Chains A and B, each alone.
Chain A
Amino acid sequence: MRRVLWVLILALGLAGAQTVGNEPPPDLPPKVFEIAKKLRCPVCRGESAAESNAGVTEEMRRQIAEMLAEGKTEDEIIQYFVDRYTEWILYEPPKRGLGLVVWLAPVIGLGIFGFGLYSYLRATSRRAAELEGISEEELARAEAELGRDDEGGAPS
């Protein structure tokens, strides 16, 4: 009975741990976190304003909530932060200018890799096809010639 109780407590603890951090705090609507996810935390590395617990991101989320309550659109709210921090504040680089390079680089890289792989496979299969087209007689003659070269060409 006691073992069952411990298992139950452990299971409940794990379930609780799973939800911590995934759910937005009850005082802010999920839309706030949706927008905050698109903004960088100014004082962290690799964290969005939705994930970070830094003081500045708490205030960013509070301001997003206030602007939503005022009826501002998502684009207007994001622009508000861009006006203050430049496009650096965007969690994902914009799909234009230098930011476009970041978006296209993986596609270009994949294209180059695909082309290289295709060229290599084509060359290999062509060589194999060439070998298949050679008759037994030709092969025997080539081998004999190679043998003769080896004998004649070997240093004395």
Chain B
Amino acid sequence: MRALFGVLLALAIGALFWWGMQTKDERSELPSALAGRPAPAFDLELLPSSREAWGERLDLSDYLGKKPIILNFWASWCYPACYEEAPILEATWRRWKDQVLFVGVNTQDELDAAEKFIEQFGISFPNVYDPRGKVGIDYGMYGVPETFAISVEGRVLERFAGTISAEKLESMIREVLP
């Protein structure tokens, strides 16, 4: 009886260790405090390459509650993740730009490096410059790249951390479309 108890205890401890080793700490699985809540507004300077089409600054509150928004946090130093998803974001934006607004938030970056990145991928959606990364903290961002889907009512519906695929981006867009 005692031996059986010992074996069961050892098995239970072993199972606990195994479970502990299996538990993933993927950023995409971490909770988002913003899900279902109003998206935080911000008013930031646009990157020089975005100014001709979008003006000097972008105030998100001008668009919140009027149009669904895909908000993408990125940086030129975020290699390879941001470089992998940039062409996907641009191609998807060109397909959906009449119905959804894409906004890029360049986070904790050098202006020249950010501009080089924009030029490299021919990014045409507006990108704001956030050298401090203040907006990222407002959105509870864990690290770049991260993408948020904001409904037409101005609520955060979903957060995706890491390199976004074309399929995932399309599914986020379908989710935010009215």
Contact = CB atoms under 8 A, between A and B. Distances in A.
A106 B95 CA distance: 56
Q: What secondary structure prevails in chain A residues at the interface with B?
A: helix
Interface residues of A, number: 16
A82 B31 CA distance: 11
Contacts, number: 43
Interface in B82-114: 107-108
Nearest to A60: B137
A63 B134 CA distance: 8
Contacts of B34: 84
B38 interface: no
Contacts of B25: 45
B98 to A, nearest CB: 32
A43 B33 contact: no
Interface string A79-90: 001111110100
Contacts of A86: 31-33, 140
A84 B33 contact: yes
A84 B137 contact: yes
Interface size range of chain B in the complex:
10 to 19
A148 interface: no
B138 A42 contact: no
Given A45-B25, A59-B108, A85 B140 contact: yes
Nearest to B40: A84
B154 interface: no
Contacts of A43: 142-143
Interface in B120-166: 132-134, 136-143
A84 B132 contact: no
A82 B134 CA distance: 15
Interface string A44-59: 0100000000011001
A2 B33 CA distance: 62
A62 interface: yes
Nearest to A83: B33
A37 to B, nearest CB: 17
B30 interface: yes
A1 B31 CA distance: 63
Contacts of B108: 55-56, 59
26 contacts: A42-B142, A43-B142, A55-B107, A55-B108, A56-B108, A56-B136, A56-B143, A59-B108, A59-B134, A59-B136, A59-B137, A60-B137, A62-B132, A63-B134, A81-B137, A83-B33, A84-B33, A84-B34, A84-B139, A84-B140, A85-B33, A86-B31, A86-B32, A86-B33, A88-B30, A88-B31
Given A62-B132, A63-B134, 19 more contacts: A43-B142, A55-B107, A55-B133, A56-B108, A56-B133, A56-B136, A59-B132, A59-B134, A59-B137, A81-B137, A82-B33, A83-B33, A84-B34, A84-B139, A85-B33, A86-B31, A86-B32, A88-B30, A88-B31
